[in-house]
């Protein structure tokens, strides 16, 4: 059981990190190319740090699925509600607090919302897919 959970945890973290990195880079390139009128702003390195911030956020959300190891307990693994919560409770809490803090700090601009969707939605997608696989195998 621990090997299965380690495999699930590794998939969630690795796929979330690399997919978010690729998506954030694509979104950042498109945003900087079409949104900024001057050539000097297109060559600015500052959006790169914003992308790293959101990739870091996605990594934290993915790493927060460490709670899946609670499923080593038979009572939690067999009960549907606790099984679901072991996968999703901490990522949801971190995602909600991240959304609130980023929107308060930067405002709810289109680029901010787009990066939040990419950085929080991507790990949640992988968590959901691994949860459904785990639930079907049990």
User: Burial of 126 by CB count in 10 Å (0-12 exposed, 13-18 middle, 19+ buried)?
Assistant: buried
| Per-residue pLDDT band at 46 (split at 50, 70, 90) | low
Confidence of residue 121 (pLDDT cuts 50, 70, 90): confident
For the whole model, what pTM was predicted? 0.76
Residue 43: how many other CB atoms lie within 10 Å: 9
pLDDT tens digits along 49-107: 777 777 888 888 888 888 888 888 888 888 888 888 888 888 888 888 888 888 887 77
């Amino acid at each position: 059981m621990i090997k299965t959970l380690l495999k699930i945890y590794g998939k969630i973290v690795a796929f979330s990190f690399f997919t978010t990195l690729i998506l954030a880079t694509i979104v950042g390139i498109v945003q900087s190319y079409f949104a900024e009128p001057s050539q000097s702003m297109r060559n600015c390195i500052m959006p790169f740090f914003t992308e790293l911030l959101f990739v870091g956020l996605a990594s934290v959300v993915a790493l927060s699925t460490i709670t899946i190891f609670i499923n080593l307990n038979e009572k939690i693994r067999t009960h549907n509600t606790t099984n679901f919560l072991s996968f999703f409770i901490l990522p949801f809490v971190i995602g909600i607090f991240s959304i609130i803090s980023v929107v308060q700090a930067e405002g709810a601009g289109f680029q901010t919302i787009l990066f939040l969707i990419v950085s929080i939605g991507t790990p949640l997608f992988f968590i959901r897919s691994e949860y459904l696989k785990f639930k079907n195998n049990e």
